[in-house]
Amino acid sequence: MKLIRFGNFRQENPAVELEDGTRKDCSAHFNDWNHDFFVGNGLAKLEQLIASEAAALPDVPANARLGSPVARPGKVLCIGLNYSDHAAETGMNLPPEPILFMKGTNTVVGPYDNIVIPRGSEKTDWEVELGVILGKDASYLSSAEEANDYIAGYCISNDVSERAFQLEHAGQWTKGKSCDTFNPIGPYLVTKDAVADACNLSMTLDVNGQRMQDGNTKTMAFDPCFVIHYLSQFMTLEAGDLITTGTPPGVGMGMKPPRFLKSGDVVELEITGLGTQRQVCCNVGEST
């Protein structure tokens, strides 16, 4: 299944996109694609609803804005330097354990919303990533194999980063990762059963029509199940939480000379089977 949400920002309604591409409003049956939905066996209930009543569900308006495919998560957990070819690009070794950082949950926006370049920024960068949505609360899982049962599905995530904020100021990476609009996700949450192999998905990112990133999730050092098992030893992961799993090579910071986003730039992302994104960059206070 493909779960989507539509409507004004922070007022989105839950919906699905069917195999024929039609979009159906599910708000009469579910409040949202959120923690309560997932822990309440919502995916199974939604599957039953689609099987029995899909044709009777209202259509989503053709011009509706698509928001993030899950409600604002409780946590956005991010894995750094998780691709062997990206680590080589940065001149760094792969870490012996996953590098964890967090983004503010208010960074999460829709797949076609603008990227707002922060005030004073000169080094706003792009990162196409595989996003993983938790389907159950997870704590002290016994193995990576068990962790597979805790995945609701996958989505595209753009882990937008301000490199000066991230690397040139004291402290952790959070300052460069948590600016407004810095995590477009979607357009869909594609449920786990509809993704044949999350560890072999092609992923691309273009800026103004020029290919910048062209990678594959097979070069991840730590796959999603390993990451979930690992993180569950340190904290309780909750249904609806988002984990972004790292980026392949081709980020602006790694270019010679480095290249960063500016107002008017268009960023387009794709991961096999998970759809496409498109964002226009603007400065604070601008509209496009």
pLDDT above 70 for 153: yes
pLDDT above 80 for 50: yes
pLDDT tens digits, residue range 269-278?
999 999 999 9
Question: 125 or 84: whose pLDDT is higher?
Answer: 125
Q: What is the pLDDT of residue 288?
A: 58
Q: What is the pLDDT of residue 9?
A: 96
Q: What is the pLDDT of residue 170?
A: 81
Distance between alpha carbon 5 and the CA centroid of its chain, in Å? 14
Q: What is the pLDDT of residue 282?
A: 97
Q: Which domains does the chain have, with CATH numbers?
A: 2-56 (no CATH), 76-283 (3.90.850.10)
* Pick from 62-66, 83-87, 178-182, 191-195: least confident: 83-87
Q: What is the pLDDT of residue 109?
A: 98
pLDDT above 80 for 198: yes
pLDDT tens digits, residue range 235-256?
999 999 999 999 999 999 999 9
Q: What is the pLDDT of residue 46?
A: 98
- Percentage of the chain with pLDDT > 90? 92
When the pLDDT of each residue in the chain is averaged and rounded to a whole number, the result is 96
Q: What is the pLDDT of residue 92?
A: 72
pLDDT tens digits, residue range 199-237?
999 999 999 999 999 999 999 999 999 999 999 999 999
pLDDT above 80 for 90: no
Q: What is the pLDDT of residue 171?
A: 81
Q: What is the pLDDT of residue 85?
A: 78
pLDDT above 90 for 67: yes
